[in-house]
């Protein structure tokens, strides 16, 4: 069987995404019912390389492997030879002989691609500056559980054209929904992804235009990890991109709100929206666990 990596959302077909979402929901039901799952990946191991700090990514992958009967190893550059300058290609070849899969959370997307070229086990993108596909699986599972299939829906992305926005555009193409992205000038998503998006993407400057009649409104922090020095400039550029109750009122009455967290209350989103009845952010956070369990099972077993 050829090794399948999950470096980009485009590494899965639309039907495979729907299969993983369905399986994730089933695993969630089993977990809550106390049904044992530790036979699924018994004895399997996941190496987790973290160059960026994390709460949800680390806990969800680690607990997920435990629940499936496997084991996860936390590897930081500070505690491994990566931090002393070992080429990432060498680390990829060594880890491939010891673990069954590898998850990497890092900055440059090119780094995870280099690692995957030399790995002989599945490599999972736990976040790069270019994409955050594991989070998208959790978002899509959450939407499906609350409102059904996302195909044909209108999704509003408000804010930075960052890794989340890039993955949402790719998901729109794969699953047949429209992403209306409102980004300040100078903060657009990757131009190559935009160019290939076709009718799946509406790129605008006005948050109200993107949100009008939307089925789901999504935002993210204005300055991600590694962009702390840009915080002041970004705060100025993103003025007017706050998701508040007035903006949410332009969406459909049954629209949902999502945020991948952590959130900066009263900066990119108001507390009343974050804690309000349309917000499903806690389900979205929990679904990192179930979606990633389904993803690892898919990559390691092919089913």
97 is catalytic: no
Q: Is 18 a catalytic residue?
A: no
Residue 142 shares a structural domain with residue 128: no
Question: DSSP label at 215?
Answer: S
Q: What is the pLDDT of residue 203?
A: 98
* Residues 86 and 180 grouped into a single domain: no
Catalytic site includes residue 183? no
Please indicate, yes or no, whether residues 83 and 165 belong to a single structural domain of this protein: no
Contacts of 246 (CB under 8 A, 6+ apart): none
The annotation status of 211 as a binding-site residue, yes or no, is no
Report pTM.
0.96
274 lies in the same domain as 297: no
Q: Residue 1's pLDDT is what?
A: 60
287 labelled ligand-binding: no
Q: Is 153 helix (H, G, I), strand (E, B) or coil?
A: coil
Helices of type H across the chain? 14-33, 56-67, 88-96, 109-118, 133-147, 163-175, 191-197, 207-211, 231-237, 245-248, 271-274, 281-301
Residues 24 and 99 in one domain: yes
Which residues face 191 on adjacent strands? Answer: none
Residues 101 and 175 in one domain: no
183 and 256 assigned to the same domain: yes
* Same structural domain, 142 and 280: yes
User: At 30, which CATH number?
Assistant: 3.40.50.1370
Give one DSSP letter per residue of 50-81, joined into a string.
ESS--SHHHHHHHHHHHHTT-EEEEE-GGGSG
pLDDT digits (tens, 9 = 90+) for 243-288: 999 999 999 999 999 999 999 999 999 999 999 999 999 999 999 9
Residues 295 and 267 in one domain: no
147 and 70 in a common domain: no
Domain housing 72: 5-132+288-301
Torsion of CA 288, 100, 17, 63, to 10 degrees: -20
Known active-site residue 213: no
Let me know whether 187 and 173 are in one domain: yes
Determine if residue 119 is labeled as part of a ligand binding site: no
Q: How many independent structural domains does the chain possess?
A: 2
**Selected catalytic residue, list 23, 132, 153, 234:** 132
**Residue 104 confidence (pLDDT) above 80:** yes
CB 41 within 8 A of CB 68: yes
């Amino acid at each position: 069987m050829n090794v399948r990596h999950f470096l980009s959302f485009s590494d899965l077909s639309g039907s495979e995404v729907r299969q993983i979402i369905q399986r994730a929901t089933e695993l969630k039901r089993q977990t809550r019912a106390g049904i044992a799952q530790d036979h699924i990946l018994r004895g399997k191991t996941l190496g987790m390389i973290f160059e960026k700090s994390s709460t949800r990514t680390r806990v969800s992958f680690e607990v997920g492997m435990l629940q499936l009967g496997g084991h996860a190893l936390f590897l930081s550059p500070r505690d491994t030879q990566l931090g002393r300058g070992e080429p990432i290609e060498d680390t990829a070849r060594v880890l491939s002989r010891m673990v069954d899969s590898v998850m990497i959370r890092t900055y440059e997307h090119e780094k995870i691609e280099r690692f995957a070229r030399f790995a002989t086990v599945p490599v999972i993108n736990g976040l790069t500056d270019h994409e955050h596909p594991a989070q998208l699986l959790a978002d899509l599972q959450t939407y499906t559980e609350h409102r059904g299939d996302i195909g044909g829906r209108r999704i509003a992305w408000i804010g930075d054209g960052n890794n989340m926005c890039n993955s949402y555009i790719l998901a729109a193409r794969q699953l047949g929904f429209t992403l209306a992205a409102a980004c300040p000038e100078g903060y657009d998503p990757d131009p190559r992804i935009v160019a290939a998006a076709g009718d799946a993407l509406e790129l605008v400057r006005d948050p109200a235009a993107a949100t009008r009649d939307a089925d789901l409104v999504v935002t993210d922090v204005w300055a991600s990890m590694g962009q702390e020095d840009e915080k002041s400039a970004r705060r100025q550029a993103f003025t007017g991109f706050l998701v508040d109750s007035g903006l949410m009122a332009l969406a459909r009455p049954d629209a949902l709100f999502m945020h991948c967290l952590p959130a900066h209350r009263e900066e990119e989103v108001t507390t009343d929206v974050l804690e309000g009845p349309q917000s499903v952010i806690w389900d979205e956070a929990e679904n990192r666990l179930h979606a990633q369990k389904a993803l690892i099972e898919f990559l390691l077993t092919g089913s």
